[in-house]
Structure 1
């Protein structure tokens, strides 16, 4: 998900907000709406640091792909 990451490199388990926004063509507000709707899982490390589950991002993308095929 990082622009410096090669295609065969495994994803980290958690991503920062900017890494998720690089992968999903959505706004920051839309990202937080997905969190509020329980479509993306987050881990709050501190008041100012939130990590996003990379697997939940991949699951969300797969779900979007399925809906797009119908």
Structure 2
């Protein structure tokens, strides 16, 4: 995540990067809220295409669309 932020988004603020990593960690460790589950998908070793396919599937599943 740090590499993506620094290289892909050109973020150089260490506080911003650490805060974002902590925020992401919270979601990964606390996948539930009083209102229900939080859907997560670890994209660490995924390609852009794999992530896009998953997001497409996730949206279609949630709103029950068909291709």
Larger strand proportion of the pair: 1
Question: TM-score if structure 1 supplies the norm length?
Answer: 0.31
> What TM-score, normalized by structure 2, do the two folds share?
0.32
Bigger relative contact order, structure 1 or 2 (CA pairs below 8 A, ≥6 apart): 1
Structure of greater Rg: 2
